[in-house]
Structure 1
Amino acid sequence: MTDKEILEKGKQVIKLESEAIADLYNFLDDEFIKAVKIISQTKGRVIITGLGKSGLIARKIVATFNSTGTAAVYLHPTDALHGDLGMVRSEDVLILISKSGNTEELVNLMLMLKRMNVTLIGMLGEENSKIGRECDIFLNVYVKEEACPHDLAPTSSSTAALVMGDALAITLLELKGFTTDDFAFLHPGGSLGKRLSLKISEIMYKGKNVPIVNEDTSLKDAILEMTSKRLGVTSVVDKNGNLTGVLTDGDLRRLLEKQSDIKNLVAKNAMSKNPKTIKAEFLASFALQQMENFKITSLVVVDDDNKPVGIIHLHDLIEIGLQRR
């Protein structure tokens, strides 16, 4: 194949699969509504099954369901016929994924499930199939053709099933009122969990580790405070302990560019007034966003009386793995 042919083939595959997804839009009907309502009201679990590539898609849909608040498990159809059927209860909802709707293992499993009075949802490419004729709800994932040139390898069909699963999961998410707090609770690990749940109070410098000087502190002592706390910044407060400014390495450099004799200067002479601040109960991700927006490397954490209670530094946010969206 020439370079041009390689590129065209890639584009053709994407075009075929995008068309398969677009067709799903017109396939959604009252059956989809029924499926969403039954799943949302079930007192059991959602069990999803499929064989081969459909099995892989089933596992992905299970993962999406679980991460968005709908309890789901994967059931291998062959294992189910050799003992794992014991995990199924009559109050469960079972989704069978099959392009043909005639997959032998799924048909045999379906017959056993019918005896157990389990609600069956068929995510199928053919309604007039063995599973299609017996399931309680039919979700149409028919595709005109696979992206495979031989129309054999599941490509468009597996993509269509995956998207239908996403449609169910996200609709259920909104129906249940699943919030970002709920999402954070289910994703405590990694940068995603940190972005959604980690609060400034959990990672900020506090107590004796917070650099603080008075407005009339000598510049020499202010520099010592900055150096000893190793943050390159100190908060500056008035006689009542209220924040009035911050003194940074940058402020010192700009001051020295103007005058070299600083022995008679105090913190108030060099500080930046009205600094950006943040509250301890805010998310750490918001602190990162503020630092990026204002092109600063630290934020003073203040209480309701505008008294400094902590400080948070950009390097610490990056070190714990917090990233921009």
Structure 2
Amino acid sequence: MTNPSQLRQWGRQVINVEIEALQGMQQYIDDSFVAACQQMLACQGKVIVMGMGKSGHVGNKIAATLASTGTPAFFVHPGEASHGDLGMLTEQDVVIAISNSGEAREIMTLMPVIRRLGIPVIAMTGSPDSTLARLAQVHLCIKVEQEACPLGLAPTSSTTATLVMGDALAVALLQAKGFTADDFALSHPGGALGRKLLMRVDDLTHTGEQLPCVTEQMPLSQALLEISAKGLGMTCVIDEQGRLTGIFTDGDLRRVLDARVEIHSSTIGQVMTRDPITLKDNILAAEALKLMEERKINGLVRIDDQARPVGALNMMDMLKAGVL
């Protein structure tokens, strides 16, 4: 059985080799990198990423990262492109061709057609003197001194370097385009991320008959019945014009009991929290959550332009919606 300490040592060696490879990538963020970014920013179509083998797997991820950060892109397999998929390309596109050797036969077969269409090519290779590098309009070097594989055969450091170069392009373009969190959410509507970035308090608040609401003159004992019936752990308190004047929560109830206040003879207006924190329409749920966390409160009331309560939500609503 292999010694556990030896396994840990091998794993650390791989990480150290790849860290050194990435540190060496700084030198390749040069004028060619700028030219590649400018070429992609000027693209009127899509960025088409190509690569064979491990380069193809990495290229697929690069295309996905570009697409999700504001640069329309997709991956085309070079082998399939030779049998019809090349029809996906248009003259408005830009091609990113990935090949560590710069001599991948499947990509080289496509180059005459791509050049004939006048489509700009950004090559990512580990060999600046390769055929692909010479044929491309822009060459991004991804050369590494050493693969993490002790045999020097399995693509390891080189694929990591390729992925990082793709990330550098995507993030540079993201910032150049002024891509925002809202833009990101629009391309990620599913899952927790989309919910957190897109959902607004209007989608979560309890309204109408579900909204707990009492007047200032109501006895505290009756107000507690309203809180229990609506199940939000709180109630809005309004004046004669229906405007919000305060809020009473489970936390307020604990403080009232600690102070030995008589719940049958006291009105809710005497013990409520005045001038509570409120929300306006169309606020992101994530903003509301941040406010609740900063103020250490569990519930919020949404009011209209006349300061009348129109909705309420609590931390449990955030949790159920996947915002928390």
Q: TM-score, normalized by length of structure 1?
A: 0.94
Task: Provide, for residues 43-101 of structure 1, a one-character-per-residue CA deviation record: whole Å limited to 9, x for no partner.
Answer: 22111000111101111011111111111111111111112112122222111111111
Task: Provide, for residues 207-260 of structure 1, a one-character-per-residue CA deviation record: whole Å limited to 9, x for no partner.
Answer: 222111111111122112112211111011233333222112232233233337
Q: How far has the Cα of 1:8 moved from its partner?
A: 2.3
Map of 2:180 onto structure 1: 179
Separation of aligned partners in 2, 1:232 and 1:45: 51
Residue pair 2:219, 2:263 contacting (<8 A) in 1 also: no
Q: Tell me which amino acid in the other structure corresponds to 1:178.
A: F
**Residues 136-151 of structure 1 correspond to what in structure 2 (within 5 A)?**
136-151=137-152
Q: Tell me which amino acid in the other structure corresponds to 2:146.
A: E
Map of 1:92 onto structure 2: 93
Residue pair 1:48, 1:96 contacting (<8 A) in 2 also: yes
Task: Provide, for residues 5-59 of structure 1, a one-character-per-residue CA deviation record: whole Å limited to 9, x for no partner.
Answer: 2222222211211221121111122111111111111222111000111101111
Match of 1:100, SS state, is: coil
Separation of aligned partners in 2, 1:11 and 1:320: 41
**Residues 104-143 of structure 1 correspond to what in structure 2 (within 5 A)?**
104-143=105-144
Map of 1:101 onto structure 2: 102
Map of 2:301 onto structure 1: 300
Map of 1:49 onto structure 2: 50
Separation of aligned partners in 1, 2:297 and 2:90: 57
Residue pair 2:235, 2:249 contacting (<8 A) in 1 also: yes
Separation of aligned partners in 1, 2:252 and 2:118: 74
Task: Provide, for residues 173-230 of structure 1, a one-character-per-residue CA deviation record: whole Å limited to 9, x for no partner.
Answer: 1222222222122121111112211111121112222111111111122112112211
1:245 is aligned to 2:246: yes
Map of 1:269 onto structure 2: 270
Residue pair 1:195, 1:285 contacting (<8 A) in 2 also: yes
Map of 2:279 onto structure 1: 278
1:163 is aligned to 2:153: no
Separation of aligned partners in 2, 1:82 and 1:122: 22
**Residues 26-105 of structure 1 correspond to what in structure 2 (within 5 A)?**
26-105=27-106
Residue pair 1:236, 1:268 contacting (<8 A) in 2 also: yes
1:231 is aligned to 2:228: no
Q: Tell me which amino acid in the other structure corresponds to 2:265.
A: N
Q: How far has the Cα of 1:292 moved from its partner?
A: 2.1
Classify 1:261/1:45 alpha carbon distance in 2 versus 1 (closer, same or farther; 3 Å): closer
Residue pair 1:92, 1:119 contacting (<8 A) in 2 also: yes
Map of 1:20 onto structure 2: 21
Q: Tell me which amino acid in the other structure corresponds to 1:146.
A: E
Q: Tell me which amino acid in the other structure corresponds to 1:60.
A: K
Q: How far has the Cα of 1:311 moved from its partner?
A: 0.5
1:309 is aligned to 2:280: no
Separation of aligned partners in 2, 1:154 and 1:120: 23
- Greater alpha carbon shift after TM alignment, 235-244 vs 65-74: 235-244
Residue pair 2:302, 2:312 contacting (<8 A) in 1 also: yes
Separation of aligned partners in 2, 1:304 and 1:3: 66
Match of 1:110, SS state, is: helix
Separation of aligned partners in 1, 2:8 and 2:274: 57
Separation of aligned partners in 2, 1:103 and 1:113: 15
Aligned length: 323
Separation of aligned partners in 1, 2:45 and 2:68: 17
Match of 1:19, SS state, is: helix
Residue pair 2:201, 2:283 contacting (<8 A) in 1 also: yes
Task: Provide, for residues 133-192 of structure 1, a one-character-per-residue CA deviation record: whole Å limited to 9, x for no partner.
Answer: 211110000011111111111111111111111111111112222222221221211111
RMSD, aligned CA:
1.6
Q: Give unmatched runs, 5+ long, in structure 1.
A: none
Separation of aligned partners in 2, 1:112 and 1:201: 53
Question: Percent identity at matched positions?
Answer: 43
Map of 2:206 onto structure 1: 205
